[in-house]
Structure 1
Amino acid sequence: MLDKNQDTATLFSRVVLVMGVCGSGKSTIARGLAEHDAGVFIEADEFHPAENVALMSQGICLDDEKRWGWLQAVCEQAQLALAQDVNHAQRVFIACSALKQRYRQFMRERLGDLVILYLAGGQPLIHDRMLQRKNHFMPISLLDSQLFDLEEPSEDEFPWYRLDISHTPECLLSEAKAVIEQHRPMPPLES
């Protein structure tokens, strides 16, 4: 069951952020939503510079300074996708950890309003999922640091939704689809 942070949903946005710690299923859900919605999928991991990937591969967690350039690159890719859609009808789905509120604020300042889907789950479950991942640069040893850095969305970040990752991926995707249908972008006004 999804956990909605507000009783009413009034915001319509073209950008959906699927956030959470490593191994929570962000890429699976964001990609599935983009395919369902004929939208653009952006995998934030692909925008880490080689230096960041090397550090994480060695089990060294990134500080804020190492994350700002990465987040800027993710936002620039999303801005490009939005600008290329002359009909203003296509949505962008971003799979990004966005662990801290200031990171999400940074993204909001560049992309406008976001609908946030927060994939939440306990350390044992995520640890088990990370054990099953193949060919990913993020080692399991960084999970605890991600959980330590994680700041769950606040009321100031409405609209956001907490989805329980103990549900099957199919169930989570169905719940996520229901959320984004509530936030269908408004068509542009005709002039």
Structure 2
Amino acid sequence: MNTFSELGLEPRLVDALTDLGIVKPTQIQQEAIPILLDSMQDFIGLAQTGTGKTAAFGLPLLQAVNEDSNTCQAVVLAPTRELAQQIAEQLKNFSKNKPKLKVEVVFGGAAITNQIKALKAKPQVVVATPGRLVDLINRKVISMKALDYVVLDEADEMLNMGFKEELNKILADTPAGKTTWLFSAT
């Protein structure tokens, strides 16, 4: 089995994983991470729940993002606020050795004023639910124009929950040259 270093992850991310007690990559991580690190291509990753999909897309994403930039370079979409919060927490844990890298989470059912304030801190990565992200785009609080990456986690679930219109709006506001990664358990 490969190590995270052998998959191509930078030492700061590998050290964070070690601190978290994560030392052996899962199958989805072994298969996805080298591909996602190596190219700016769209990708579909399928793996069962609990197999480490968030690390499979999150680690390459955190390595690719320019932490010295103050633009939003990546958006991760999740169908529920619980999953969005979980993803954001994991990304923050993975990037703990990259102090300039900021990850924020925005979702419905919470005060939008606090989320607007958090976005003014110029995070490089935003984890969001589709409805709240559309609201923030419409309010011109966040711009999708400089995005390099869009990750749809549980994309099929978002469609099943009726987020097709929101996803179309979000994707229409993103640059044509962005990279899109879809991850799903089905």
TM-score, normalization by structure 1: 0.40
The higher-RCO structure (CA 8 Å, 6+ apart) is: 1
TM-score, normalization by structure 2: 0.41
Query: Which is helix-richer, 1 or 2?
Result: 1
